[in-house]
Amino acid sequence: MQTLPLSHKRGLLYLVAVLLVAATQGNLGAQQSTLGKIAFPTSGSPQAQACFVRGVLALHSFWFEEAADQFRECTKAEPDFLMGYWGEAMTYNHPLWAQQDTKAARKVLANIKDTSRLTPREQAYISAVKVLYGPGDKLSRDIAYSEAMEKIYKDDPDDLEAACFYALSLLGTV
Identify the CATH number of the domain in which residue 32 sits: 1.25.40
pLDDT at 27: 34
- Assigned domain for 1 exists: no
Domain span including residue 98:
6-171
Give the global pTM: 0.81
- Assigned domain for 107 exists: yes
pLDDT at 119: 97
pLDDT at 111: 98
The C-alpha atoms of residue 32 and residue 163 are separated, in whole angstroms, by 21
Q: Residue 172: which pLDDT band, with cuts at 50, 70 and 90?
A: confident
Q: Are strands 93-94 and 99-100 parallel, antiparallel or unpaired?
A: antiparallel
Phi, psi of 100 (to 5 degrees): -155, 135
- Assigned domain for 147 exists: yes
CB contact set of 63 (below 8 Å; sequence gap of 6+): none
**What is the count of structural domains for the chain?**
1
- Assigned domain for 106 exists: yes
pLDDT at 18 over 90: no
The C-alpha atoms of residue 103 and residue 116 are separated, in whole angstroms, by 25
- Assigned domain for 65 exists: yes
- Assigned domain for 34 exists: yes
- Assigned domain for 118 exists: yes
